[in-house]
């Protein structure tokens, strides 16, 4: 426990300034020395010292801006050098694993993915395949990652990356963080997929200006991630809450978790298939195409998805009343819902939620990151410790 | 925005050490200089300087401990001087206002309360009465408070103490913080009652060792406060979530909030009265006596409160799955539930909550603070800014 700040040394200050400046470039992109100075509240000579240091280590380059404003010598533009600090992002989904090498600044340098089936979904298989693919990406791109971030659709202990349970993968008590760190030889962070979806929206998506947001996504299951006061919300032992398992329908369908009528059983992918008269385990592509088609026929969409919208709204009222977010972001499959259905959900939440009214209306938006959301979040998870050390 | 810590001056460090030491004495009570040194990680000479300064201003006194261990000169015991830093705590409930002058260390120096009825519940009436009672307490105790903390059963904007809605008081858009600050002439903080209940449990109750907890209380309505990662959880604009308005029973009773089947309508005071065959608006004392009587007849308690326990558990499963707390504290009327009923709720939550199982079981405990919980929380709210300045 630090009880005094009197021990701060110049070295600490320099390291701190360097990390803050790098984070600014990483999140918001290239900008001039002058902008850095004013945004970070540091004087020009401090900025110069930090930028010179970073240029020397090849982490940033400087360039004369092409658009010059005013007369006189232009302020140099500082650009992060993507190849200089790279992380590996891994998004393990129920039907697919997607991997990418991501450079500082958020650029995807190269990617690789493969489909999962009942037999290739075993934890050991996935770990081996990730290790092989990582080596291929390293060779192909001639980069070496500084750290690894992994997204998993399950209950994860953040401290050591233990996957307590990932029901739709059939995983239980898998020491994923430790096992991947061992085969990859890099520091490895594992996070719940919805928490990483929320992080992605906060850093690079629709929630960049919001410090209180909830991200919800439907894949096979339903997951949610929460940012409160600008920080990810976690509970005991770093566990993230399971928003898909709030109870919305007493006496509803049995859920794998041992309860009945969980939100997930009422609004997850199978529920959406049932509402549209599609087989529950058909290909995702068919479902998305059906939703796109329905968007063109609002009356029919509203009719078919009337009950579905009601259950979506019921869960959202609970979430909004409990957490008072300014923004709810709907990701993954939810982002494919027809606009009129989303409008209806929005209206119902506003009408039924005391807290939404109190805070002047919780916005409900669709994720702009598409299927990459959790991959982007996994990269940011990996970057967090890295930015302080390069 | 502070981006560098290099500007820390000796003055800041001294002020910081003083505040940390005072907070330690305020929360955990008297202790020796030696213990302070080891707990706070400061050397003896720093502790001496801070304690000497505090002794000079009369905020602490030192005494030779009565129980001496070992030979040699005993380490002096440092005691907070309650009268030296006093705050006013105000707990506005639906049927009563309770006020207390509280000294540093948490001792209640004097208190005053009065009942509220339909006509005396108007905001203007309450504010006037609080001002008069504060003056009486000041005169009686010969103290002057440094700040004021107020608990209100409603949706409160923490920034300025605006009560957006306190339905059971019939209040809407009452600028309570500003109006009380004006008549009392002191800095005034207003908080939601359940948030303050959670704070009280965290600082002085059953949750002193837990950094992830949920406090739930039933008065007329049901409220909840959350501490996550050691900090109070708040949403947009500082609003606290309204746990009483998670939806547990679709198509259930109409709630004042515009929704149906809110948790509050299923487990609040009127619901408990209905389950026991008592009139819904009878005196609280009768209900509590009935619950005490039932505790002696477990079979009958379990039978009468079977459905009630089911709805308690349903809401708790949602809360636990969403927030992953290590501990849930039941306060106020909930603390009077018969032990066998509490056991049943506990079992059902454990059985139905995925997250409770993942974190090794969420504990469910009864509040030891009794009716004073929110008053204690209001005092702590007032002490927060005060401890840094005395």
Render pLDDT for B164-208 as a digit per residue (tens, 0 to 9). 888 889 999 999 999 999 999 999 999 999 999 999 999 999 999
Q: Which of B206, B202, B205 is nearest to B231 (CA)?
A: B202
Residue A361: closest C-alpha in chain B: B236
Q: Which of A33, A44, A16, A24 is nearest to B4 (CA)?
A: A16
Q: Determine how β-strand B86-92 pairs with β-strand B147-152.
A: parallel
The helix, strand and coil proportions of chain A, stated in percent and rounded to the nearest 5, come to: 45, 20, 30
* Rounded Cα gap, residues A33 and A44, in angstroms: 8
Is the CB of B5 less than 8 angstroms away from the CB of A20? no
Residue B314: closest C-alpha in chain A: A247
* Rounded Cα gap, residues A31 and A36, in angstroms: 7
> For chain A, what are the domain ranges?
10-65+72-80, 84-192+374-387, 206-368
Residue A345's pLDDT is what? Answer: 97
Pick among B1, B2, B3 to test the A interface (most A CBs inside 10 A): B3
For residue A82, CA distances in Å to A26, A106, A201, A370, B81 come to 9, 8, 21, 23, 59
Please tell me the distance in Å from A37's CA to the nearest CA on chain B.
11
Interface list for A 231-250 with B (CB within 8 A): 231, 233-237, 239-243, 245-250
Interface list for A 128-167 with B (CB within 8 A): 155, 164-165
* Rounded Cα gap, residues B352 and B96, in angstroms: 37
CA atoms B260, B266, B271, B276: torsion sign: positive
* Rounded Cα gap, residues A72 and A81, in angstroms: 27
Is the CB of B258 less than 8 angstroms away from the CB of A351? yes
Q: Which of B296, B309, B304, B293 is nearest to B341 (CA)?
A: B309
Q: Is the pLDDT score of A301 beyond 50?
A: yes
Instruction: Kindly provide the b/e burial profile for residues B316-350, where b requires at least 16 CB atoms within 10 angstroms of the residue's own CB.
Output: bbbbbbbbbbbbbbbbbbbbbbbebbbebbbebbb
What would the DSSP string read from start to end of A70-127?
Answer: SSSSPPPEEEE-GGGSEEEEEEE-SSEEEEEEEETTS-EEEEEEEE--TTTTSHHHHH
Residue B234's pLDDT is what? Answer: 87
Is the CB of B321 less than 8 angstroms away from the CB of A243? yes
| Residue among A8, A231, A314 minimizing CB distance to B8 | A8
Residue A9's pLDDT is what? Answer: 59
Instruction: Kindly provide the b/e burial profile for residues B265-300, where b requires at least 16 CB atoms within 10 angstroms of the residue's own CB.
Output: bbbbbbbbbebbeeeeeeebeebeebbeebbeeeee
| Residue among B228, B246, B352 minimizing CB distance to A258 | B352
Q: Is the pLDDT score of A191 beyond 80?
A: yes
**Strand partners for B162:** B157
Q: Is the pLDDT score of A326 beyond 50?
A: yes
Which of the four CATH numbers 2.60.40.420, 3.30.420.40, 1.10.1040.10, 3.40.50.300 does domain B84-196 have? 3.30.420.40
* Chain A touched by B266 (CB under 8 Å): no
Strand order in the sheet with A77-80: A31-32, A77-80, A60-63
Q: Which of A257, A156, A241, A164 is nearest to B351 (CA)?
A: A257
Burial class (CB in 10 A: 0-12, 13-18, 19+), B69: exposed
Band of pLDDT at residue A109, cut at 50, 70 and 90: very high
- Strongest mean pLDDT among A4-18, A312-326, B151-165: A312-326
Asked if domains B10-64+73-80 and B206-368 share a fold, the reply is no
* Chain A touched by B259 (CB under 8 Å): yes
Pick among B321, B359, B361, B362 to test the A interface (most A CBs inside 10 A): B321
Q: Which of A28-32, B3-7, B48-52 has the lowest mean pLDDT?
A: B3-7
Please tell me the distance in Å from A296's CA to the nearest CA on chain B.
31
Assign domain B206-368 to its CATH architecture. Answer: 2-Layer Sandwich (3.30)
Strand order in the sheet with B86-92: B108-115, B96-103, B86-92, B147-152, B188-192
Report the residue count for chain B: 390
Is the CB of A250 less than 8 angstroms away from the CB of B246? no
**Neighboring chain B residues of A359 at a CB cutoff of 8 Å:** 235-237, 239
CATH annotation of A84-192+374-387: 3.30.420.40
**B390 or A297, greater pLDDT:** A297
> Where are the extended beta strands (E) located within chain B?
31-32, 60-63, 77-80, 86-92, 96-103, 108-115, 147-152, 155-157, 162-166, 171-174, 188-192, 213-218, 222-228, 231-232, 327-332, 363-366
Is the CB of A3 less than 8 angstroms away from the CB of B317? no
Residue A20: closest C-alpha in chain B: B3
| Residue among B20, B322, B359 minimizing CB distance to A322 | B322
Burial class (CB in 10 A: 0-12, 13-18, 19+), A230: exposed
* Rounded Cα gap, residues B243 and A100, in angstroms: 40
Residue A16's pLDDT is what? Answer: 87
Report the residue count for chain A: 390
Residue A7 near residue A22, CB atoms below 8 Å: no
Instruction: Name the average pLDDT for chain A.
Output: 91
Is the CB of A10 less than 8 angstroms away from the CB of B6? yes
- What is the widest separation between alpha-carbon atoms in chain A? 73
What are the tens digits of pLDDT across the range B212-236?
999 999 988 899 999 999 999 988 8
Q: Determine how β-strand B171-174 pairs with β-strand A155-157.
A: unpaired
| Residue among B165, B250, B322 minimizing CB distance to A249 | B250
Band of pLDDT at residue A72, cut at 50, 70 and 90: low
State the count of interchain CB pairs (< 8 A) between A and B: 196
Q: Which of B60, B55, B57, B136 is nearest to B101 (CA)?
A: B136
* Chain A touched by B45 (CB under 8 Å): no
Q: Is the pLDDT score of A5 beyond 60?
A: no
Residue A70's pLDDT is what? Answer: 61
In eight-state DSSP terms, residue A262 is B
Residue A221's pLDDT is what? Answer: 87
Q: How many CB atoms lie within 10 A of CB B5?
A: 14
Which fold would CATH assign to domain B10-64+73-80? Answer: Arc Repressor Mutant, subunit A (1.10.10)
Q: Determine how β-strand B231-232 pairs with β-strand B171-174.
A: unpaired
Residue A155: closest C-alpha in chain B: B358
* Rounded Cα gap, residues B60 and B89, in angstroms: 22
Instruction: Kindly provide the b/e burial profile for residues B30-56, where b requires at least 16 CB atoms within 10 angstroms of the residue's own CB.
Output: bbbbebbbeebebeeebbeebbeebee
Residue B70's pLDDT is what? Answer: 61
Please tell me the distance in Å from B190's CA to the nearest CA on chain A.
16
* Chain B touched by A183 (CB under 8 Å): no
| Residue among B16, B165, B241 minimizing CB distance to A4 | B16
Band of pLDDT at residue A12, cut at 50, 70 and 90: confident
Q: Is the pLDDT score of A297 beyond 70?
A: yes
Is the CB of A323 less than 8 angstroms away from the CB of B235? yes
Cβ neighbours for A116, distance < 8 A, ≥ 6 positions apart: A93, A94, A95, A96, A97, A126
Q: Is B168 helix (H, G, I), strand (E, B) or coil?
A: coil
Which fold would CATH assign to domain A10-65+72-80? Answer: Arc Repressor Mutant, subunit A (1.10.10)
Band of pLDDT at residue A389, cut at 50, 70 and 90: confident
Burial class (CB in 10 A: 0-12, 13-18, 19+), A142: exposed
Q: Which of A291-295, B115-119, B336-340, B366-370 has the lowest mean pLDDT?
A: B115-119
* Rounded Cα gap, residues B169 and B353, in angstroms: 35
Residue B24 near residue B40, CB atoms below 8 Å: yes
Element (DSSP H or E) covering residue A12: helix A10-28
Residue A71's pLDDT is what? Answer: 62
Q: What is the mean pLDDT of residues A136-161?
A: 94
Which residue in the block uniquely carries the two structure tokens 């008069």? B132
Residue A235: closest C-alpha in chain B: B324
| Residue among B42, B239, B355 minimizing CB distance to A324 | B239
* Rounded Cα gap, residues B109 and B103, in angstroms: 7
Is the CB of A358 less than 8 angstroms away from the CB of B239? yes
* Chain B touched by A253 (CB under 8 Å): no
What are the tens digits of pLDDT across the range B59-94?
999 998 776 556 666 778 999 999 999 999 999 998
* Rounded Cα gap, residues A296 and A122, in angstroms: 40
| Residue among B165, B235, B318 minimizing CB distance to A324 | B235
Q: Which of A317, A311, A329 is nearest to A354 (CA)?
A: A317
**Terminal Cα distance for chain A, rounded:** 26
Cβ neighbours for B51, distance < 8 A, ≥ 6 positions apart: B21, B33, B36, B60, B62, B78
Q: Is the pLDDT score of A284 beyond 90?
A: no
* Rounded Cα gap, residues B173 and B196, in angstroms: 20
What are the tens digits of pLDDT across the range B41-50?
888 899 999 9
User: What value, to the nearest 5°, has the Cα angle with vertex A197 and ends A221 and A213?
Assistant: 105
What are the tens digits of pLDDT across the range A44-71?
899 999 999 999 999 999 988 776 556 6
Instruction: Name the average pLDDT for chain B.
Output: 91
Residue A265 near residue A275, CB atoms below 8 Å: no
Q: What is the mean pLDDT of residues A26-43?
A: 91
**Neighboring chain B residues of A245 at a CB cutoff of 8 Å:** 317, 321, 353-355
**B365 or A359, greater pLDDT:** B365
* Chain B touched by A38 (CB under 8 Å): no
**Neighboring chain B residues of A229 at a CB cutoff of 8 Å:** 231, 234
């Amino acid at each position: 426990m630090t009880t005094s700040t009197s021990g701060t040394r110049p070295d600490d200050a320099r390291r701190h300034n360097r990390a803050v400046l790098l984070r600014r470039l990483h999140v918001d992109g290239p900008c001039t020395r002058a902008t850095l100075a004013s945004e970070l509240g540091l004087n020009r000579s401090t900025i110069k010292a930090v930028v010179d240091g970073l240029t020397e280590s090849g982490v940033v380059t400087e360039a004369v801006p092409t658009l010059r404003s005013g007369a006189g010598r232009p302020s140099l533009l500082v650009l992060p050098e993507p190849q200089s600090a790279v992380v590996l992002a891994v998004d393990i989904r129920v039907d697919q694993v997607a991997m990418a090498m991501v450079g500082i600044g958020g650029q995807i340098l190269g990617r690789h993915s493969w489909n999962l089936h009942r037999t290739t979904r075993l934890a050991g298989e996935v770990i081996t395949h990730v290790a092989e693919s990582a080596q291929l990406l390293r060779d192909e791109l001639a980069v070496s990652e500084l750290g690894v971030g992994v997204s998993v659709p399950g209950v994860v202990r953040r401290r050591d990356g233990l996957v307590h349970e990932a029901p739709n993968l059939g995983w239980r008590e898998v020491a994923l963080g430790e096992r991947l760190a061992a085969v990859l030889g890099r520091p490895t962070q594992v996070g719940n997929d919805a928490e990483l979806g929320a992080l992605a929206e906060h850093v690079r998506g629709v929630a960049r200006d919001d410090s209180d947001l909830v991200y919800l996504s439907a894949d096979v299951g339903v997951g949610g991630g929460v940012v409160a006061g600008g920080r990810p919300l976690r509970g005991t032992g770093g566990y993230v809450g399971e928003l898909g398992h709030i109870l919305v329908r007493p006496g509803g369908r049995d859920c794998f978790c041992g309860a009945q009528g969980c939100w997930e059983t009422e609004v997850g992918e199978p529920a959406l298939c049932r509402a549209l008269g599609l087989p529950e385990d058909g290909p995702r592509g068919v479902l998305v195409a059906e939703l796109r088609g329905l968007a063109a026929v609002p009356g029919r969409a509203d009719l078919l998805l009337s009950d579905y919208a009601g259950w979506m709204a019921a869960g959202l009222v609970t979430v909004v009343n409990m957490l008072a977010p300014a923004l709810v972001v709907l990701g993954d499959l939810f982002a494919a819902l027809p606009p009129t259905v989303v409008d209806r959900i929005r209206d119902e939440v506003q009408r039924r939620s005391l807290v939404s009214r109190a805070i002047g209306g919780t916005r409900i938006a669709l994720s702009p990151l598409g299927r990459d959301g959790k991959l982007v979040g996994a990269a940011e998870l990996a970057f967090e410790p890295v930015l302080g050390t390069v």
